[in-house]
Amino acid sequence: MQIGQDTDTGFWIDNTAHRAFLRHDAQRQLDVFRQMLRADGGFNLPSWDGTPLPDAPQELHTTTRMVHSFALAKCFGFADCDAVIDAGMAYLWQAHRDTQHGGYLWSVARDGSAADASKLAYGHMFVLLAASTAKEAGHPDADRLLADVTQVLDIHFWEEAYGLYADEFNRDWTPFSTYRGMNANMHGVEAHLAAFEATGEARYLDRAGRIIDFFVHQMAPANGWRLPEHYTQDWSVDPAYAGNPMFRPAGTTPGHSMELGRLTLQHWDLAGRKGDTAPKAARHLILQAITDARRPDGGFAYTLKDGQIDRPDRYWWPVTEAIGALAALIKLDRNPQDEALYRSFWQFAQSHLIDPDHGGWFPELDDAGKPAQHQFIGKPDIYHALQADLLPLIPHLSRAAASV
């Protein structure tokens, strides 16, 4: 199906053919990942040809993102989502949930034992997101999951003095590091906005706003609109930190700036659109990231140091976040320059990342622009690319699950 024509007048998010393409690509992704549901309620991940990869410990963000993605798709009217949602919700409660110490285990082996019993804020934010979207989709167990994870976040992760979330603990909640990070808090904004949309409880909106205030309105302008990722226990920037090469790479990660810029607009919309500070900051954050990280041959470099490309690796998810961010800017202000960027990102995705034969998106490209399997094996995620399809379809900056 044609993604859209350069000769189309107006804006693609308003274009019938482009909107049909978005739903078509979303359906193909759902068809691939739906087949990964196992008999025990867990999920495998798909190889490039759509066959399941061998069993491996199931990580919390895999389970939660599957629930969120299929629940969001159900809200958009896609069929045959319930089996995945039901299985994922049960797996969260019965396998990931730690009945001894509370909270949710990072990964679970096929036999149900803990493969990695760490308690990570990053994973718990996705539990909150999954519970919130499942509630929007009408799942009967959403409220208990939402209440449980909210309590865990309150008791163990929230640092009231800073208005931010701590990152990581052992299974019994003893600390094993003093690391503090932007990534978990950014996904905290995402999850808390979803929880506010699902419940109307102001505490979720308020906490999202406090996180945004620190990163977008304090740290970004103080650091050339490039967000520091890593911090010490007192939330001082830790420029020398280098952790997990995927989840905590050294330097700054432009894709996160695009994502947080979009979330800043969502929060501003939900909070009553007060003033123009948030939209200006969001635009600055998004466009700085695009300017810094966009490679001449398309796509985005993964990380920067001092504003210069450090890791030039091209992954799929920054492209999806650029699409979502530009769609949000276009909804706010029909700007032709934003439209040109939006079209170029989709054209790159169609020519390099979207699998025309089996559906889904290839997660990384080599230097020649061909799909590669260096950091990732198979297709590790539906969440980013599905949202790139669905978020441009809604007319507003917020309430995706209730807008269609």
Can 256 be counted among the known catalytic residues?
yes
Q: How far apart are CA 154 and CA 146, in angstroms?
A: 12
Q: How far apart are CA 298 and CA 238, in angstroms?
A: 31
Q: How far is CA 124 from CA 91, 148, 184, 261, 265, in A?
A: 14, 11, 9, 22, 23
Q: How far apart are CA 171 and CA 174, in angstroms?
A: 7
pLDDT for the residue 395: 95
List b or e across 365-383, with b for residues whose CB sees 16 or more CB atoms inside 10 angstroms.
beeebebbeeebebbbbbb
pLDDT for the residue 404: 61
Can 396 be counted among the known catalytic residues?
no
Question: Among residues 314, 334, 310, 321, which one has the least CA distance to residue 263?
Answer: 321
Phi/psi of residue 87, nearest 5 degrees: -65, -45
Phi/psi of residue 335, nearest 5 degrees: -105, 120
Q: Judge contact between 199 and 146, C-beta under 8 A.
A: yes
Q: How far apart are CA 25 and CA 305, in angstroms?
A: 34
Q: Judge contact between 278 and 268, C-beta under 8 A.
A: yes
Q: Judge contact between 241 and 182, C-beta under 8 A.
A: no
pLDDT for the residue 223: 97
Burial (CB < 10 A; 0-12, 13-18, 19+), residue 237, is middle
Question: Among residues 194, 192, 183, 207, which one has the least CA distance to residue 72?
Answer: 194
Q: How far apart are CA 12 and CA 392, in angstroms?
A: 9
Q: Spot the catalytic one: 61, 187, 192, 384.
A: 384
Q: How many separate helices (H) and strands (E) can be counted in the chain?
A: 13, 13
Q: How far is CA 48 from CA 53, 56, 345, 348, in A?
A: 9, 17, 22, 19
Q: Spot the catalytic one: 187, 230, 256, 352.
A: 256
171's tokens: 């299974």
Full pLDDT tens readout for the chain, 404 residues: 778 777 777 999 999 999 999 999 999 999 999 999 999 999 999 999 999 999 999 999 999 999 999 999 999 999 999 999 999 999 999 999 999 999 999 999 999 899 999 999 999 999 999 999 999 999 999 999 999 999 999 999 999 999 999 999 999 999 999 999 999 999 999 999 999 999 999 999 999 999 999 999 999 999 999 999 999 999 999 999 988 878 899 999 999 999 999 999 999 999 999 999 999 999 999 999 999 999 999 999 999 999 999 999 999 999 999 999 999 999 999 999 999 999 999 999 999 999 999 999 999 999 999 999 999 999 999 999 999 999 999 999 999 988 66
Q: Which domains does the chain have, with CATH numbers?
A: 35-177 (1.50.10.10)
